Amino acid sequence: MYDVYGIIGNPVSHSLSPIMHNVAFKELGIKAVYGAFLVKEENLKKAVEGIRALNIKGLSITIPHKESIMKFLDEIDRVALEIGAVNTIVNENGYLKGYNTDWIGVLKAFTKNEVEIKDKKVVIIGAGGASKAVVYAIKAGGAKEIEVYNRTFEKAKTLEKNFGIMAKPWNELKNASGDIIIQTTSVGLKSWKSPVEEEVLSRFKIAMDIVYIPLKTKFLSLAEKYAKVIDGLQMLLYQGVEQFRLWTGIEPPVKLMEEAIYKEVKKMEKEIKKEMK
């Protein structure tokens, strides 16, 4: 008998999580399988009931359910509560506890690339769901100053209120400067667009994009002329590594997981080249 894990979201068809986790289960000889489940917003409560009924051992949660799923769980980890989003569920005999490993993915991505966050000025582009975990991670890493730019200023102000960062109007982005810049919007996903001009990127030493299709986005291509760049797969990998630990209590084969998702993204890039305009 195999234990079942998976990811729920809408959409989920291009999720790399099944590839990453299944290769780890296979390598370690764990009798488990990880699948992708499309769940529409109106069916979320039923899906959570299904987790208990089918004894699904653990789940990854992706867009658009990271916030809305919280009310259906039995317990929320303190950090996930502070962030205001859950991306991981652990099922202990029908008792569902929510965690957030996205912020760990952000921190590990910097650590593994030998980038120090402490005492740095960090600029974050976007104030959507993904930026919450990024802001939390950067604060945890000891950044001296954090600025968030967003097209809808009110969303940035909400982050300012909740996390004590500085919200900045979008029209002031052209004047932004600092040590590290992080792109958290969906701009550049399967397209050749960047929310930030090259002149702005020239003022930073480190640039990170959470978009990973294409692997080297226009944002990173412009930034790498001036800065060390970190692609979006790094965050995905290390949040997944932490999920695996939470579910199994076992150290996963990180290198193998990394190789599997980079190989898959290379294949996906070839398929969507026509969309990259």
What pLDDT sits at residue 275? 65
Domains along the sequence of the chain with CATH = 3-100+234-271 (3.40.50.10860), 104-230 (3.40.50.720)
pLDDT digits (tens, 9 = 90+) for 130-143: 899 999 999 999 99
Exposure on the CB side of residue 244, measured as CA atoms within 13 A: 28
Query: What pTM was estimated for this model as a whole?
Result: 0.94
Cα–Cα distance between 106 and 173 in angstroms, integer? 22
Whose structure tokens read 């579910």?
247
Whose structure tokens read 């962030």?
83
Annotated active-site residue in 57, 66, 108, 120: 66
Q: How big is the CA angle at 16 (ends 249 and 66), to the nearest 5 degrees?
A: 70
Query: Is 66 an active-site residue?
Result: yes
- DSSP 8-state code for residue 137: H
Cα–Cα distance between 243 and 99 in angstroms, integer? 9
- DSSP 8-state code for residue 175: G
Return the sign of the alpha-carbon dihedral for residues 159, 153, 109, 115.
negative
Which residues of the chain fall short of a pLDDT of 50?
none
